Amino acid sequence: MAHDLYKKAGSAERPTPKDFFERVNQVWRFTLDVCATEHNNKVARYFAPPDHRLKPIMNAPLALDGLAQSWAGEICWMNPPYSRGVLVKWVEKAIHEAVRGAVVVALLPGDSSVVWHHELVLLNAAWVEPVRGRIKFEGMDAGAKTGNILAHFLPPDYAVANPKKKRSA
C-alpha cells in the first residue's frame, strides 16, 4: 500500500507501479534504487531524495542522500521527484554517474517541450524509450497527466545493443 504522503495534492513523488518496474528489472537486474524511500523502494538497496534523508517519515531510519552518494559500478533504477528544478538535479546526477561507471535507467516525464529534455536527456542518454500509454503511479487515482520515457544513461565503454531496436538482416 502506498504511504499517505503520495496522496497529497501536488506531491512531486510518483511511486513506480510494481508490475511496470518488474518488466524493466527483468532486462536490467537493478542493484540500487537511487531515489526512493522505505515506502516506495523497488530494490533492497536504496538511497533517498535529500528531503527524506533530513526529515524521516514515521520514525524511519535515515537513508543516505542519493544526490550525494556515488553510484559507480551499480545498475541503477531512478524514478525521481518530478518537481521543476529537482528533476533536473537528478538527471544531471545520472549523467555524471554514468560517466563514472554506473548504468542508470530513469523513468522521466516524456515532455519534449522542456529544455532539460533536449539539453540533458537527448544529448546524453544512450537511448530513450517511450513508455506506451499513461502510467498509473502507486497511490494515484488516475493515470499520469503526460506520457513517460525510460532514459538509459550508460558508461562510455558499456557495450550493449538496444534490446528494443530492430536489427536488419
d(CA 110, CA 128): 10
Q: Is the pLDDT of residue 151 over 90?
A: yes
Between 48 and 151, residue with greater pLDDT:
151
Whether pTM exceeds 0.75: yes
> Where would I find the beta strands (DSSP E) of 5-89?
32-33, 75-78
| pLDDT above 90: percentage of residues in the chain | 49
Choose among 133, 20, 153, 149: nearest CA to 82: 149
Between 21 and 53, residue with greater pLDDT:
21
The pLDDT value given to residue 144: 60
- pLDDT (tens digit per residue) in 67-81: 999 999 999 999 998
The pLDDT value given to residue 64: 84
- The 10 Å CB-count burial string (b at 16+, else e) for 3-30 is bebbeeeeeebbbbbeebbeebbeebeb
Domain residue spans of the chain = 4-153
Between 139 and 167, residue with greater pLDDT:
139
What's the topology of domain 4-153?
A: Rossmann fold (3.40.50)
